[in-house]
Structure 1
């Protein structure tokens, strides 16, 4: 390689790194602004803050209304995560091990909820649940979020199962084990990371989703994003930044916990 080519390669590498870090900074800047403004002391949201205080965090954790919204968001998020993970994993497993026409048609059909605007899904489900007389708001929002999160789980697990050695499963079946035992003892340990990631993604999607939850909420049940929207209609205070910081922190915590769970064996060896 000539010196000119080497210099050009270094310049291209430097430009790529600069563009990468610039993009990263642009993405992170709003999050930084949210966290900084959540510590301001004033009544109105301004950047940069003139004074710093934990006043709005204290108000957030002292508010029964906000804590109730946090509880509702977590309950709905866990429910949607469990249901969408179960549906996505089993559906992806069925498609992987089948050569039928249904297995070829199913992936595009599963993709449909992601292509539809959330407002359409939310309005349709609201009309449907009212028509059948179903009034459990927790379950209606869980169903809506499951409908949206299941395709994400399905396609994540499609990628995971595509790298799995199916000869291991066939060996377990040849040895006389039931399909459920083969899945639990052979397949699941090898795809555990994908299942954990899928569950975390589904939980975060449910935690952040706003439009469908807005349509399906009730007086007793409303998620954190819905309550934040309601608060924004009356005033723009740093409490909104506190709520946003809370959602970001929970999402990051979920990613860290999933990473820890996936590397628990490595961590045990280090200890």
Structure 2
């Protein structure tokens, strides 16, 4: 008995050690990015020879970079809202239908994730030019929503699978319209999933590069596109500053979604 317990403890220790080792390997590039963003040298090196906040001041004082941040945020908000609406409504339709379309839709929704972004970007560029749609904001929002909608769809599939549909049926039996039932009955019970889906769609849009590169214009370019452009001329710590910005934006999005869910939990307890 003691030998079995000892073996279980050894296996548990090895599992935990392996888990933390994998986590450390995954986190190491992020640590390198943050450390090099504070380096004093004008050329990107690791480990840094000195530390300064000069590159952050340059980033915050650059109209070009701030314009790219504004474009990325606007595009991220637009594409996440569009992807959330499409993904939630599509997932809801599939869950409550037994038709052949409900069986065909999930594989079709998955297709954008299976097509290389370079193919999507080039195809959308040709298509938008053919129909005369030249607004880069709209083009990139649609492109990013096309890529983020499948993620929202399958997240909501999992959320709706745990939803008690008897509540919806009871609302319909009481004479409420479908839209009113969704707003007052379904949505409050799946709000956490909707928030998480929106955050995931925003992060995907914020960090997507290839399609934004194809669809950008002189007036509109996202942070990853501008970072790529700057890399072609020199490898400065500004690249690490931009990467740190993207990582921090993703972390803030996750923390905000977690805060929303915790506030809902706290409200339920009170």
TM class by shorter-chain length? over 0.9
In the alignment, the residues of structure 1 paired with residue 133 and residue 192 of structure 2 have an alpha-carbon distance, to the nearest angstrom, of 36
In the alignment, the residues of structure 2 paired with residue 263 and residue 203 of structure 1 have an alpha-carbon distance, to the nearest angstrom, of 20
Q: Which residue of 1 aligns with 2:222?
A: 223
Q: Which residue of 1 aligns with 2:130?
A: 131
In the alignment, the residues of structure 1 paired with residue 81 and residue 46 of structure 2 have an alpha-carbon distance, to the nearest angstrom, of 39
Let me know the Cα RMSD of the aligned residues: 1.2
Q: Which residue of 2 aligns with 1:199?
A: 198
Residues 87-166 of structure 1 mapped to structure 2, 5 A cutoff: 87-166=86-165
Q: Which residue of 1 aligns with 2:26?
A: 27
Give the TM-score of the pair, scaled to structure 1: 0.98
Shift of 1:268: 5.7
In the alignment, the residues of structure 1 paired with residue 98 and residue 11 of structure 2 have an alpha-carbon distance, to the nearest angstrom, of 46
Shift of 1:267: 4.7
Moved beyond 2 Å, runs of 4+: 265-271
In the alignment, the residues of structure 2 paired with residue 269 and residue 183 of structure 1 have an alpha-carbon distance, to the nearest angstrom, of 20
Give the TM-score of the pair, scaled to structure 2: 0.98
| Number of equivalences | 270
Q: Which residue of 2 aligns with 1:71?
A: 70
In the alignment, the residues of structure 1 paired with residue 151 and residue 11 of structure 2 have an alpha-carbon distance, to the nearest angstrom, of 35
Q: Which residue of 2 aligns with 1:186?
A: 185
| CA deviation string 1:2-52 (max 9, x = no partner) | 111111111111111111100000000000000000001111111111111
In the alignment, the residues of structure 2 paired with residue 245 and residue 188 of structure 1 have an alpha-carbon distance, to the nearest angstrom, of 35
